[in-house]
């Protein structure tokens, strides 16, 4: 009972100290919030789920073709919301705009485009893209592929009809006028039917899970990786802070005073750790809370597992802080070591989501390496729980590994730490 | 001379502080390796390894159309077709040994031939990665759509032919067999030689297909800008420390002007910024190559790059004086100013490509010097532009420097 009250009073003292350190609190709370909401909003907008229409790209259009097919490419482009089309007469001018990064891409329809398609000669449309905007480039290319597919089908059908009409015997004695009329009529009929058909494809692909329920996909699942990524990364930024705070106390001599007081050593360390465990838990609650409220990030179906995972994460981070304190000579060293560790482990552990699934699920060297960090296991746990509705039992291995890591860190810290 | 002496003293003090050296030099290098996505390259070492997503398939049809579909999926890239028997696949799926199974229904070929709608079922295990599932679905759908279109075109030609069969002989311009043969030959041809092709180019390269730049070409300058500006904090801290221990007052008592005292404080910041840039860029160019990762190039105008680097270092020095002038407590210098510097870096595009930021935040990023520095580096290193093209950005950086310095000087508390 006494020990608990000692621990609590030490923790309370530590919490008061933490609360005064506004700079660190800003780094621990505001920075991840800022990162998270900026990345989150951008991703939302790129995915087209935001309230505003999707991303707007400046596109230069150079249509050197006077014929019908050139117009058939240009017209649908003007109707696409994502594109702001500006027409140019000279290729050089458009190229200049793209080269300076003022436009995301320039689309150049060659002069003989219609002629070539009419003659059934392969032709090409040039899409000039700004190398500094690879994401825009892929959007433009995607749109152009669809537009070009339409024109291609039209060109193919027209050629097919013409080839058949040209055959000896077919309309041999008809006048050019009649032939054109027949050609146009057939083309019209076929194209109308085609557009009907494409609305009802003959082959439908369905995607379902084992129980037959439709699979949900999309951006909220990615958020269940991205936000925990930032959260875990910044949770471990407390490592330098907790480590340095312990050593500061030794340097300032207050640790000696605490030791002289009738408080067991274990209670001093436990109190300190409790304060930082609470800090990390608060971080997780704030960050994941914001993500859940403002970005519709799913929280999964097992709140108990979520809470437990968070507590274990906080324990590992705090134990790592004690480990850093035990291995560092000065508070400053601990602070720096904590920061470097924070970045490096976050990078290796996959906290900056560069793949759509946790790094532990990829194949190869990085995946193996990542499993050595607590970050990767915490992330894997959060992602399974929130994106895949894993049950408590399913994330038990991750919780166990994290706990084991925490215990190892703590034991080494106890072994190496010098109170004097 | 006085300024230089102070600068030399400060540089010596700075490089003794190993923590600061780690922060300003080692951290950016770690950033580049860890966050530029370059590490992913290590994972994909086995070049001949088939990295496509395996797609177990149960083919209940075993007809021609099914084979065409599966060949199409296998050839589309990204997905590897693996054949399974139905019971086996179902059992493995339930045991979580398979992530997903695509089932081609019996009579697929017959249904396609007679233009009856068919459904391909992709059944996924609940643990299967949602993104992979979506990728597989897109590939299957793409191939299925092409097949749908072909079969529908053929079916409608057939239908038209049948309608024409009732018309008088002189109006029957073509036979069904002839049109279908024509259509088939065109389908064949379009597979290897599309009528209209899209050619992606990059300005400046004549007609050649140019690879998009590596991520590192954007990441290195971004992190350089971030860390050079973080150095500003060190200047502020050095001024603060001197004030705290009283050596600042002694320097003031020495026979030298306040301006040279401030200049002496700025020069180490400037030099450190230059060394940082050199180290980070050298690492991006040489170090990354030695590590076997994607490396960067200096673009077509290395001199202009150097000039921009000088301006960035100068601007960071100005900002250092500004922080020193405005921040009153240690807390403000270490905590709040680092928050400010990081926020400025995020806003200025050190992490997120500028065009995305601008699309999202409008003109807001323009209020931080980082934006202009990143823009200049982007133009030079990614777009391959020259000195004249970044004159505006350089002028803005200079203006920022002047503003920082003037405000810093005005608010600076010498006592």
Q: Supply the ipTM of this predicted assembly.
A: 0.71
Residue among A96, A134, A207 minimizing CB distance to B124? A207
Q: How long, in residues, is chain B?
A: 415
Taking residues B374-390, report their average pLDDT: 88
Chain B residues 383-402 with CB within 8 Å of chain A = 383-385, 389
Taking residues B338-360, report their average pLDDT: 83
Chain A: nearest CA to B254, how far in angstroms? 32
Chain A: nearest CA to B266, how far in angstroms? 24
Residues of chain A with Cβ-Cβ distance to B190 below 8 Å are 152, 156
Tell me if B174 and A151 make a contact (CB, 8 A cut-off): no
Return phi, psi of residue A84, to 5°: -110, 105
Distance of CA B232 to the CA centre of its chain: 27
Percentage of the residues of chain A whose pLDDT score is greater than 90? 23
Return phi, psi of residue A182, to 5°: -60, -45
Give the per-residue pLDDT at B207.
Answer: 40
What separation in angstroms does the CA of B78 have from each of A259, A413, B27, B138?
Answer: 63, 47, 36, 10
Tell me if A194 and B156 make a contact (CB, 8 A cut-off): yes
Give the per-residue pLDDT at B208.
Answer: 42
A403: pLDDT confidence band, cut at 50, 70 and 90?
Answer: very high
Give the per-residue pLDDT at B49.
Answer: 46
Q: Which residue of B has its CA nearest to A103?
A: B355
Taking residues B287-293, report their average pLDDT: 78
Q: What is the pLDDT of residues A20-57, one digit of tens each?
A: 887 788 888 888 888 888 888 877 766 654 444 456 78
B169: pLDDT confidence band, cut at 50, 70 and 90?
Answer: low
The residue that leads in pLDDT, B245 or B168, is B245
Tell me if A31 and B204 make a contact (CB, 8 A cut-off): no
Tell me if A190 and B127 make a contact (CB, 8 A cut-off): no
Return phi, psi of residue A233, to 5°: -60, -50
Q: Is residue B19 less than 8 Å (CB to CB) from chain A?
A: yes
Taking residues B193-204, report their average pLDDT: 76
Tell me if A203 and B343 make a contact (CB, 8 A cut-off): no
Tokens 């532009």 belong to B385
Residue among A136, A190, A339 minimizing CB distance to B355? A136
Residue among B43, B199, B379 minimizing CB distance to A362? B43
Chain B residues 58-87 with CB within 8 Å of chain A = 69
Check pLDDT > 90 for residue B374.
Answer: yes
The token pair that represents A387 in the structure block: 């994106």
Chain B residues 175-234 with CB within 8 Å of chain A = 178-179, 182-183, 186, 190, 193-204, 207, 210, 212-213, 218
| DSSP tag of A86 | E
What value does the mean pLDDT of chain B take? 80
Taking residues B47-71, report their average pLDDT: 78
Q: Which residue of A has its CA nearest to B148?
A: A202
Check pLDDT > 90 for residue A235.
Answer: yes
Distance of CA B374 to the CA centre of its chain: 14
Which of B38, B158, B195 to mutate: most A Cβ within 10 Å?
Answer: B195
Check pLDDT > 60 for residue B399.
Answer: yes
Q: Which residue of A has its CA nearest to B102?
A: A207
Taking residues B188-216, report their average pLDDT: 67
Check pLDDT > 80 for residue B242.
Answer: yes
Residues A33-55, buried b or exposed e (16+ Cβ, 10 A)? Answer: bbbbbbbbbbbbbbeeebeeebb
The residue that leads in pLDDT, B359 or A228, is A228
Chain B residues 338-377 with CB within 8 Å of chain A = 338-339, 342-343, 346, 351-357, 359-360
Return phi, psi of residue A122, to 5°: -55, 135
Tell me if A42 and B360 make a contact (CB, 8 A cut-off): yes
Give the per-residue pLDDT at B377.
Answer: 92
Residues B234-259, buried b or exposed e (16+ Cβ, 10 A)? Answer: bbbbbbbebeeeeebeebeeeebeee
Residues with Cβ within 8 Å of B155's Cβ and at least 6 positions away in sequence, in order, are B115
Residues of chain B with Cβ-Cβ distance to A26 below 8 Å are 335-336, 339
Residue B200 pairs with which residues in a beta bridge? A127
Chain A: nearest CA to B234, how far in angstroms? 14
End-to-end CA gap in chain A: 27
Chain A: nearest CA to B248, how far in angstroms? 23
Give the per-residue pLDDT at B316.
Answer: 94
Check pLDDT > 80 for residue B191.
Answer: no
Chain B residues 143-182 with CB within 8 Å of chain A = 144-145, 147-149, 151-153, 156, 160, 173-174, 178-179, 182
Other CB atoms within 10 A of residue A15 CB? 16
Greatest mean pLDDT among A211-215, A246-250, B48-52, B336-340? A246-250
Residue among B40, B119, B124 minimizing CB distance to A204? B119
Q: Is residue B326 less than 8 Å (CB to CB) from chain A?
A: no
Tokens 């705070």 belong to A245
Rounded distance, CA A368 to CA B355, Å? 35
Tell me if B199 and A125 make a contact (CB, 8 A cut-off): yes
Instruction: Please tell me the least confidently modeled range out of A63-77, A290-304, B135-149, B303-317.
Output: B135-149
Chain B residues 251-290 with CB within 8 Å of chain A = none
Q: Which residue of A has its CA nearest to B27?
A: A340
Tell me if B121 and A163 make a contact (CB, 8 A cut-off): no
Q: Which helix (H) or strand (E) holds A237?
A: none
Tell me if B195 and A155 make a contact (CB, 8 A cut-off): yes
Taking residues B136-157, report their average pLDDT: 79
User: Which has the closest alpha carbon to B321: B201, B228, B403, B209?
Assistant: B403
HSE of B247, CA atoms in CB hemisphere, 13 A: 10
The token pair that represents A27 in the structure block: 């780094």
Residues of chain A with Cβ-Cβ distance to B89 below 8 Å are none
Chain B: nearest CA to A404, how far in angstroms? 25
What DSSP line would sit under A338-406, residue for residue? HHHHHHHHHHHTT-S--SSS-GGGS-SHHHHHHTTSHHHHHHHHHHHHHHS---HHHHHHHHHHHHHHH
């Amino acid at each position: 009972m006494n020990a608990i009250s000692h621990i609590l009073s030490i923790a309370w003292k530590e919490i008061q100290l933490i609360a005064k350190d506004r700079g660190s609190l800003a780094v621990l709370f505001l920075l991840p919030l800022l990162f998270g909401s900026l990345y989150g909003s951008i991703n939302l907008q790129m995915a087209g789920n935001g309230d505003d229409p999707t991303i707007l790209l400046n596109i230069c259009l150079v249509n050197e073709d006077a014929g019908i097919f050139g117009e058939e490419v240009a017209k649908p482009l003007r109707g696409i919301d994502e594109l702001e089309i500006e027409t140019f007469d000279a290729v050089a001018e458009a190229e200049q705009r793209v080269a300076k990064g003022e436009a995301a891409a320039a689309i150049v329809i060659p002069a003989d485009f219609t002629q070539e398609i009419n003659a059934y000669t392969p032709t090409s449309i040039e899409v000039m893209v700004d190398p500094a905007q690879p994401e825009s480039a892929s959007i433009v290319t995607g749109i152009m592929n669809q537009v070009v597919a339409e024109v291609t089908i039209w060109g193919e059908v027209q050629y097919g009809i013409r080839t058949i009409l040209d055959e000896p015997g077919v309309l041999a004695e008809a006048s050019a006028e009649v032939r054109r009329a027949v050609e146009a009529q057939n083309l019209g009929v076929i194209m109308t039917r085609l557009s009907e058909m494409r609305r009802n494809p003959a082959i439908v692909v369905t995607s379902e899970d084992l129980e037959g329920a439709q699979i949900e996909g999309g951006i909220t699942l990615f958020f269940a990786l991205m936000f925990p990524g930032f959260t875990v990364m910044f949770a471990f930024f407390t490592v330098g802070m907790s480590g340095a705070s312990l050593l500061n106390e030794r340097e300032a001599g207050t640790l000696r005073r605490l030791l002289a007081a009738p408080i067991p050593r274990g209670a001093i360390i436990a109190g300190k750790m409790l304060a930082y465990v609470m800090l990390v838990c608060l971080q997780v609650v704030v960050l994941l809370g914001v993500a859940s409220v403002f970005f519709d990030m799913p929280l999964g179906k097992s709140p108990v597992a979520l809470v437990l995972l968070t507590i274990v994460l906080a324990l590992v981070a705090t134990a790592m802080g004690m480990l850093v304190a035990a291995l560092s000579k000065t508070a400053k060293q601990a602070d720096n070591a904590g920061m470097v560790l924070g970045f490096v482990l976050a990078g290796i552990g996959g906290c900056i989501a560069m793949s759509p699934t946790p790094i532990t699920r990829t194949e190869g060297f990085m995946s193996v390496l990542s499993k050595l960090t607590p970050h990767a296991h915490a992330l894997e746990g959060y992602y399974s729980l929130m994106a895949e509705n894993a049950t408590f039992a399913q994330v038990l291995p991750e919780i166990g590994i994290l706990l084991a890591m925490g215990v190892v860190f703590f034991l080494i810290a106890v072994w190496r730490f010098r109170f004097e | 001379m006085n300024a230089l002496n102070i600068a030399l003293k400060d540089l010596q003090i700075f490089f003794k502080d190993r923590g600061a050296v780690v922060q300003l030099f080692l951290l950016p290098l770690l950033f580049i390796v860890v966050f530029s996505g370059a590490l992913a390259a290590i994972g994909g070492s086995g070049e001949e390894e088939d990295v496509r997503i395996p797609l177990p398939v149960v083919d209940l049809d075993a007809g021609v159309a099914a084979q065409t579909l599966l060949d199409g999926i296998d050839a589309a890239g990204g997905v590897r077709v693996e054949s399974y028997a139905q019971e086996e696949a179902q059992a493995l799926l339930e045991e979580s040994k398979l992530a997903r199974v695509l089932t081609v229904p019996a009579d697929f070929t017959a249904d396609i031939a007679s233009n009856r709608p068919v459904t391909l079922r992709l059944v996924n295990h609940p643990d299967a990665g949602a993104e992979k599932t979506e990728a597989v679905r897109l590939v299957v759908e793409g191939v299925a759509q092409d097949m749908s279109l072909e079969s529908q075109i053929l079916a409608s030609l057939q239908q038209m032919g049948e309608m024409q069969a009732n018309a008088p002989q002189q109006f029957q311009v073509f036979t069904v067999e002839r049109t279908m043969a024509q259509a088939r030959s065109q389908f064949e041809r379009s597979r290897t030689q599309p009528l209209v092709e899209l050619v992606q180019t990059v300005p400046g390269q004549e007609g050649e297909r140019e690879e998009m730049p590596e991520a590192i070409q954007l990441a290195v300058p971004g992190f350089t800008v971030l860390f050079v500006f973080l150095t500003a904090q060190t200047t502020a801290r050095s001024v603060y420390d001197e004030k705290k221990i009283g050596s600042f007052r002694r320097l003031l008592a020495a026979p030298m002007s306040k301006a040279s005292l401030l200049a002496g404080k700025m020069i180490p910041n400037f030099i450190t910024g230059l060394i940082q840039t050199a180290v980070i860029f050298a690492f991006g160019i040489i170090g990354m190559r030695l590590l076997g990762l994607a490396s960067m190039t200096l673009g077509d105008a290395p001199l202009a790059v150097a000039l921009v680097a000088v301006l960035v270092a100068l601007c960071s020095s100005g900002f250092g004086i500004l922080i020193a002038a405005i921040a009153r407590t240690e807390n403000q210098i270490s905590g709040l100013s680092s928050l400010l510097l990081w926020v400025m870096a995020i806003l200025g595009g050190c992490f997120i490509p500028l065009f995305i930021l601008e699309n999202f935040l409008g003109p807001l990023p323009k209020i931080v010097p980082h934006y202009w520095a990143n823009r200049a580096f982007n133009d030079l290193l990614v777009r391959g532009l020259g000195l004249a093209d970044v004159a505006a950005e350089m002028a803005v950086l200079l203006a920022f420097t002047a503003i920082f310095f003037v405000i810093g000087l005005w608010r600076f508390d010498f006592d």
